């Protein structure tokens, strides 16, 4: 089985507003590739608009944190770096495919980042308890 999460760590010095240019297309790619586009186009546009407003103001966006199979989140980090990750509660090869597609998209939009796998502290704790 594949990983539970794919993490995008943006280079030091990246600001939230630096994600603005490619964000809308990236979020739509995520929703499309994970089969989570809404039947209501208005709903998807509203989600994008809220995040674009946050990025314009150089704030952390919400991402896509719905109770669905795959989520896209922006955690707050102590070191000030910007991170984005996608995850699902079970291991799945789809996470690798979608992470790689998003990484390619970010590279096309010149957003330097590093991809890591299964970096969620919660799952690390669960693995420790099982051993």
User: Mean pLDDT, to the nearest integer, of 110-118?
Assistant: 94
Q: In this model, does residue 124 exceed pLDDT 60?
A: no
List the one residue out of 8, 18, 19, 14 whose CA is nearest residue 101: 8
CA distances from 95 to 4, 113, 115 (A): 7, 17, 12
Q: From the CA atom positions of the chain, what is the Rg in Å?
A: 15
Q: In this model, does residue 85 exceed pLDDT 80?
A: yes
Q: Which two tokens stand for residue 95?
A: 């996470």
Average pLDDT, the chain: 88
User: Mean pLDDT, to the nearest integer, of 115-131?
Assistant: 70
Contact 112, 44 (CB under 8 A): no
Task: Please report where in the chains the tokens 């990983």 appear, as a residue.
Answer: 3
Contact 75, 63 (CB under 8 A): no
The pTM for the full model equals 0.85
Q: Give the pLDDT of residue 123.
A: 56
Q: Give the pLDDT of residue 43.
A: 83
Q: Give the pLDDT of residue 121.
A: 60
Q: What is the pLDDT of residues 29-76, one digit of tens each?
A: 999 999 888 888 888 889 899 999 999 999 999 998 877 788 999 998
How many Å apart are CA 3 and CA 18, to the nearest integer? 28
Q: Give the pLDDT of residue 118.
A: 87
């Amino acid at each position: 089985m594949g990983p539970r999460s794919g993490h995008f760590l943006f280079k030091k010095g990246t600001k939230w507003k630096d994600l603005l240019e490619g964000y809308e297309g990236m979020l739509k790619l995520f929703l499309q590739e994970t089969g989570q586009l809404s039947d209501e186009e208005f709903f998807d546009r509203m989600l994008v608009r809220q995040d674009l407003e946050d990025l314009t103001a150089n704030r952390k966006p919400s991402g896509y944190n719905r109770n669905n199979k795959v989520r896209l989140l922006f955690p707050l980090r102590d070191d000030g770096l910007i991170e984005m990750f996608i995850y699902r509660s079970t291991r799945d090869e789809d996470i690798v495919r979608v992470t790689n597609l998003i990484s390619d998209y970010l590279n096309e939009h010149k957003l330097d980042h590093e991809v890591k796998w299964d970096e969620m502290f919660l799952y690390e704790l669960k693995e420790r308890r099982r051993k």
